[in-house]
Amino acid sequence: MSAAPFPSREALNICFAHVAYRMAERFTLRGTGISHVEVRDKAGLAAGIAEADVLLVSGLWSNDLLERAPRLRYVQSISAGIDQYDQDLFRSRGVRLANAKGVNANAVSEHAMSLILALARQLHTGRDNQARKHWRGMISDISQREDELGGKTLLIVGLGAIGNRLARLARAFDLKVVATRRDPSRGKGDADAVHSDRDLAKLLPQADIVALTCPLTPDTENLVNAETLACMKPGAHLVNVARGRVVDEPALIAALQAGRLTAAALDCTVEEPLPASSPLWAMENVIITPHTAGETRRYEDNVLDILMANLERIWRGETNLVNEIV
């Protein structure tokens, strides 16, 4: 850590950096009197970071910005994901880092449940038919009809705050919920059963629906690949509200095209925006939402709650931060 004292409330300067979120507007309404600025692009951030003691940022961040930030003492990530931050570099510079874990747990879990319901009830094909002004007739083929969730098994990969709330929602629809987590000794939460991450291949054949709610780490990158997809029950659905790189996209496309996987709902893709050339766009059995699972009208205020809690901790001389990473 830097030997210089953390700036007082009166001397502090905060920089909010995001392309869309209205952080400064919501912060001003709190009447803190703390000086702050807001930037909307990488050029603005590069120009203004030298004056920032505290930075709130996510997608606009690049690690070379630390070279231009002599005053920077604390970065509050606006997102839960932290793979864009070089944690060793932060430590060497004495810059604290916290993430926004949990701020959109309700939104993401509700989005995941919505996608599960949409696939079962085929709401996406209904919307497609609406655009075509086509009134679909009744279906004789039982396997092609809309379905019910009761009695089916949902496998949640990553029983954190989002996964646990999804489990609670899913059980209200009479789904049996099985989950994985790195440390099963932490309990099953609202799931019916919890297993180690290492048991994933054994659990996949049981699952009618697989929901990815895990963080992106070296262990979870390409976790869903040709091998794991081959383990899944024929006719299963995949829902990804985690990160795009948790899924091997070519392997997923192949499984969908072959009918091994009946349907998928993807809130995130390997490359974002998803390239127009991707076969996923044209697949009738795929729902794509543009990484909006975490969007909520409460997002800014939820992040600002963490910011203010951590500033108060720092001013009191406490060591630990809420959602501390570095």
Per-block mean pLDDT, blocks of 10 residues, the chain (326 long): 79 98 98 98 98 97 98 96 94 97 96 98 97 97 96 98 98 98 98 98 98 95 98 97 97 97 98 98 98 96 98 97 98
Active site residues: 243, 272, 291
Please confirm whether the linkage preceding 275 is cis (ω < 30° from 0). Answer: no
Q: What is the pLDDT of residue 38?
A: 98
Residues with Cβ < 8 Å from 18, sequence gap 6 or more?
Answer: 40, 56, 57, 58, 59, 60, 78
181 exposed, middle or buried (CB, 10 Å; 0-12, 13-18, 19+)? buried
Confidence (pLDDT) at 296: 97
pLDDT for position 169: 98
Structure tokens, 109: 């879990």
The predicted pLDDT at position 1 comes to 41
CB atoms within 10 A of CB 98: 21
Q: What is the DSSP string of 83-117?
A: TTS-HHHHHHHT-EEE--TTTTHHHHHHHHHHHHH
Q: Which residues pair with 75 in a beta bridge?
A: 55, 97
- Which tokens go with 298? 């409460």
Q: Residue 81 has what pLDDT?
A: 84
Predicted local distance difference test score (pLDDT) of residue 2: 45
